[in-house]
Amino acid sequence: MSLLKALSIVCGLMLHVSLGALNTHYCAPRKTVPYQNELKMFREEGISNYSTMLMRDDLGVLLLGAREAIYALDIDDISVRKSVVYQRVTEEKQRECTYKGKHAEVECRNYIRTLHRVNDTAMYVCGTNAFSPTCDYMTFVSGQLKLQGKQEEGKGKCPFDPFQRYSSLMVGNDLYSATSINFLGSEPVVLRSSNLALRTEFKSSWLSEPNFVYMDFVGESFDSSDGDDDKVYLFFSENAMEYDFYSKVTVSRVARVCKGDMGGQRTLQRKWTSFLKARLDCSLPEPSLPPIVQDVFLLKHEDWRKSVFYAVFKPQSSLSQVSAVCAYSVSDIRNVFNEGKFKTPVAVETSHVKWVMYTGEVPVPRPGACVNDVARKMGMNRSLDLPDKTLQFIRDRPLMDEAVPPLTGGPLLVKRGALLTRIVVDSVLALDGQRYTVMFIGTENGFVQKAVNYAGEMFIIEEIQLFENPEPISILRLSSTKGLLYAGSDFGAVQMPVSNCSRYDTCVDCILARDPYCAWDFSTGRCSSVHSLTPAPITAMQSLKEGDVSRCPQPDPVAAVDFTLVPQNNIQLSCQLHSNLAQLVWRLSDQTLHSNHKYYIYSGGLLILGASESDAGLYTCDSVEQINGRTYNRTVAVYRLQLCSGPRVGDSTTPGTEVTNSSDSSPRVITAAPRPEDPSSPETHSDTGRVTRLEVAVGLLSVFCLTLMGVIFGIWSGGRWACFRFAPVLQSPSESEGKRQPACEYMHIQNRTSEVKLLGPESGRPCTANNNHTAVDFKGNGEHHFTPMANISSLDGLGYINDESEI
């Protein structure tokens, strides 16, 4: 009995581990759209790292920077290349780079990292140039790109290391950049390249091993009540100085500088006098180290005070798979810098410094502030006029004590699974006259999540697979005017529409998608773009917050599929969820079924264990989804199970049932299942398929364990041989008389070396021997296979699954 006990423990552990993998996500996409070749893509053989983009709507091109190449692509169809220039590294530069210990074919190349608009025809471009960054001007005239040959030193404007995060921004003719200024990457700098160049101090209190992420401009001087200056905001992560731990802790920051900053007269000469930084607060639901900012997007408003930064965060620990999106108001950031308290270093021990809140007197004008009306009244019209007391204070205390809180008090979105990498945000005008913020978030496995917040409810409309192979999305750009999204990765660049309303082919699908870009048009009977309906006709409908489908016409009833029940078989009925957020509800006649010793319900269907005559009847599968307090019930599949009374193997079969024979002559049955409404339905996404297969495996594993323990118990009790029966052909009851009963075939395993024999109906075995049938779409392609559990090899009379692909 010890063997039986050990086996039960092993099976129990396997089931526990399998079930543990079925945990739900924090925020799951409602639909999943698998990779489709119809998306516009661009790549060139031998070129990689498509990670820099510049949209030029005025020129009708998307400029795409890659390794040693810059492309001008048609902005409406990026698969069309209009022009290209190559910036390859010279052999001499590559040799010098290699001598310094860098990889010749990887690092010692020219990666285009900077692309900025200068004027109507000219752009500014910089590349790493084999760890010797250089910049040049480039024009696009008469459909052709051309480098001007005016190469400039790129140190401080472009990183040396092609894989180091970096950010830059062109404001007028001034280039603001955040990168490292030396070969080793040990001297970080925030630099303004202009007639009056300014940079940060080389002090760890200013920048401590930073990882720069994003930079943008906010015109705060417009309609300013205190005569304030415009600002440039910078987002990055760095080693925290304020946390007293044994090891380094990384935190996320936002910093700002004033556009009119000219540096100090004696203190902070040619240095920023307005550099301030504060920690970004974005608390995850799980206890963890502070998450790390990965990308930021500024959604600008006509009133700059209402502009919002949207930031993507990933966990600091590689063990966590939870990432988040937090939003920050420009007004809240401004308040922290203008009114918040400072942190100051305090010597605690001989060689230890602790950062605490500064409680002393703050000089006037306020340290770190732009020159405003207060300073002007004191006779200070430039930063050069600021007193040394103010400048010395900010030189030693650039960090604010208070963190910037998220706009909503916490994360807008929390996602478990593939980490989020990039973000862009659009403001969409819906039929109700309101504007809704739609976020497009790239992931490390090549998907884009499309999410919107409805009155505090975070809703992921869909996730779309952009690349056939899992490729981290390294850049996202959005053209709101054209309704197009552009994504870049190491593999290539992809263009996709912000919405594909034609994907929703019924009124119910269109409304439940709750997509601000889409509305159901009753006049045409189609789901159409809201933009094409403007001004909105009375025949169009949206229900974004409620998801109310009451005005939609009733769908056609689902036709029942006849299905043959063979007593003592394990029968599986497949059912396709209409949404990732829905759950299956099975009914036998009017009785709701629940998972127990008889039934196993999972996201892909129903498993009936050891079917008996009493299990015959009408099975209905409903996909039930909760939407903002409303319950939407949709019948997806109907099966009519009838007792086994059909022809033997090889006879004609009922419609929807097909018999095939594998090379080992073991019969396999492919049964009919409800046809998906859309062959390219998002529900066939690989992740969902993996969960379905896992759930099926859990159910079958439990049956297998119980069966296996029963077999062992039978052998233990003196049994000499085991009989495993292959799947008979499942037939619907024949309408004609005199047809024979279905044949039962058995496999007899005598010992380890004996051959496997199929015993036909002549063996006299009754139809009540145990069978295990499956009828689920394991491969996510719309085909539904019956797979016999008896697809096994011999192992001392015990059955084991030989082909894992069958599970």
What is the percentage of the chain residues whose pLDDT exceeds 70?
76
Do 102 and 206 belong together in one domain? no
Mean pLDDT of 119-145: 95
Report residue 400 as tokens: 């604010």
Tokens standing for residue 747: 């496999």
Q: Are strands 112-117 and 122-127 parallel, antiparallel or unpaired?
A: antiparallel
- Which of 58-62, 447-451, 759-763 has the least mean pLDDT? 759-763
- The verdict on residue 139 lying in a domain is yes
CATH code at position 483: 3.30.1680.10
pLDDT at 52: 97
Do 305 and 216 lie in one domain? The reply is yes
- Quote the pLDDT of residue 349: 72
| CA–CA dist 20, 285 (Å, integer) | 19
486-529 pLDDT, tens per residue?
A: 999 999 999 999 999 999 989 999 999 999 999 999 989 999 99
- What is the arithmetic mean of pLDDT over 47-73? 96
> Does 433 fall in a domain?
yes
Q: What angle do CA 324, 329, 332 make, to 5 degrees?
A: 115
pLDDT at residue 243, as a whole number = 85
Range scoring the smallest mean pLDDT among 190-204, 244-258, 697-711, 731-745 = 731-745
Residues 222 and 99 in one domain: no
**Mean of all residue pLDDT scores within the chain:** 80
pLDDT band with cut points at 50, 70 and 90 for residue 716: very low
Confidence of residue 564 (pLDDT cuts 50, 70, 90): confident
Is 35 a residue whose pLDDT tops 80? yes
Mean pLDDT in residue range 263-268: 95
pLDDT greater than 70 at residue 378? yes
Q: What mean pLDDT comes out for the span 368-374?
A: 94
Same domain (yes/no): 213, 259: yes
Handedness of CA 424, 430, 436, 442 (dihedral sign): negative
Distances (CA, A) of 239 to 92, 208, 251, 272, 449: 37, 6, 6, 21, 30
Which of the residue ranges 231-235, 475-479, 713-717 would you say has the lowest mean pLDDT? 713-717
Whether 242 has a pLDDT exceeding 60, the answer reads yes
Mean pLDDT confidence for 308-328: 93
Residue 658, class by beta-carbon neighbours within 10 Å (0-12 exposed, 13-18 middle, 19+ buried)?
middle
Please report the pLDDT score of residue 682 as a whole number: 35
pLDDT at residue 731 tops 80 = no
Flag whether pLDDT at 790 surpasses 50. Answer: no
Provide the 8-state DSSP code for 797: T
Q: Average pLDDT, stretch 326-353?
A: 90
Q: Which residue has the higher pLDDT, 643 or 160?
A: 160
Say yes or no: 8 and 116 in one domain: no
Give the lowest-confidence range in 276-280, 401-405, 621-625, 787-791: 787-791
pLDDT band at 150; cut points 50, 70, 90: confident
Q: Is residue 28 part of a domain?
A: no
What local confidence, expressed as pLDDT, does residue 231 receive? 97
Residue 78 near residue 18 (C-beta atoms within 8 A): no
| Domain identity same for 253 and 301 | yes
87 pLDDT more than 70: yes
664 vs 280, higher pLDDT: 280
Q: 651: domain range?
A: 2-22+556-806
User: Which pLDDT belongs to residue 774?
Assistant: 38
What is the per-residue pLDDT for 805? 37
Question: In this structure, is residue 31 part of a structural domain?
Answer: no
- How large is the average pLDDT for residues 724-747? 35
More confident residue, 705 or 32: 32
313: pLDDT strictly greater than 90: yes
How many angstroms separate the Cα of 98 from the Cα of each of 93, 101, 152?
A: 9, 5, 23
Question: Looking at residue 392, what is its pLDDT?
Answer: 96
**What is the average per-residue pLDDT within 101-114?**
95
Would you call the peptide bond into 535 cis, given omega within 30 degrees of 0 as the criterion?
Answer: yes
User: What is 703-753 written as a DSSP string?
Assistant: HHHHHHHHHHHHHHTT---EEEEPPPPP-PPPSSSSPPPPP--EEEE-STT
Tokens 């039978």 label which residue? 714
Give 59's Cβ-side CA count (13 Å radius).
23
> Who has greater pLDDT, 657 or 290?
290
Q: Is residue 227 part of a domain?
A: yes
pLDDT at 17 over 60: no
Domain of 219, CATH number, reads: 2.130.10.10
Separation of alpha carbons 6 and 256, rounded Å = 64
- Asked if residue 532 has pLDDT above 60, the reply is yes
Q: Decide if pLDDT at 58 tops 90.
A: yes
Q: Are 434 and 573 in the same domain? A: no
From 156, 184, 208, the end of a domain falls on 156
Omega within 30 of 0 (cis) for the link into 557: no
Range 86-92 average pLDDT:
94
pLDDT at 367 over 70: yes
d(CA 696, CA 605): 9
- Please check the confidence at residue 794 and state whether its pLDDT lies above 60: no
* Residue 727 confidence (pLDDT): 33
Question: Which of 115, 132, 156 marks a domain boundary?
Answer: 156
By the 8 A CB rule, do 115 and 125 touch?
yes
- What digits encode the pLDDT tens for the residues 607-624? 999 888 889 999 999 999
Number of independent structural domains in the chain: 4
For 156-160, 165-169, 597-601, 732-736, which range has the lowest pLDDT when averaged over its residues? 732-736
Q: Residue 33 domain-assigned?
A: no
Instruction: Clarify whether residues 193 and 328 are in a common domain.
Output: yes
Measured CA to CA, the distance from residue 755 to residue 746 in angstroms comes to 13
Whether residue 283 has pLDDT greater than 70: yes
Q: Is 183 found in the same domain as 308?
A: yes
Note whether residue 39 is domain-resident: no
510, 577: one domain: no
Smallest CA-to-CA distance from 300 within 290, 291, 312, 309 is with: 309
Residue with tokens 């007193």, as numbered in its chain:
387
Give the least confident one: 155-169, 275-289, 487-501, 730-744: 730-744
Q: Where residue 704 falls among pLDDT bands split at 50, 70, 90?
A: low
Interval 780-792 mean pLDDT: 37
In the predicted model, what is the mean pLDDT of residues 210-220?
A: 97
Q: Is residue 38 part of a domain?
A: no
Under 8 Å between Cβ of 491 and 43: yes
Same domain, yes or no: 250 and 234: yes
Name the domain boundary from 102, 121, 156. 156
% of the chain surpassing 90 pLDDT: 63
520 and 536 inside one domain:
yes
Q: Could you count the other beta carbons within 10 Å of the beta carbon of residue 95?
A: 13
3-state helix/strand/coil string of 147-184: ECCCCEECECCECCCCCCCCEEEEECCEEEEEEECCCC
Please report the pLDDT score of residue 699 as a whole number.
Answer: 56
CA distance 274 to 70: 36
Q: Is the pLDDT of residue 787 over 90?
A: no
pLDDT for 700 equals 56
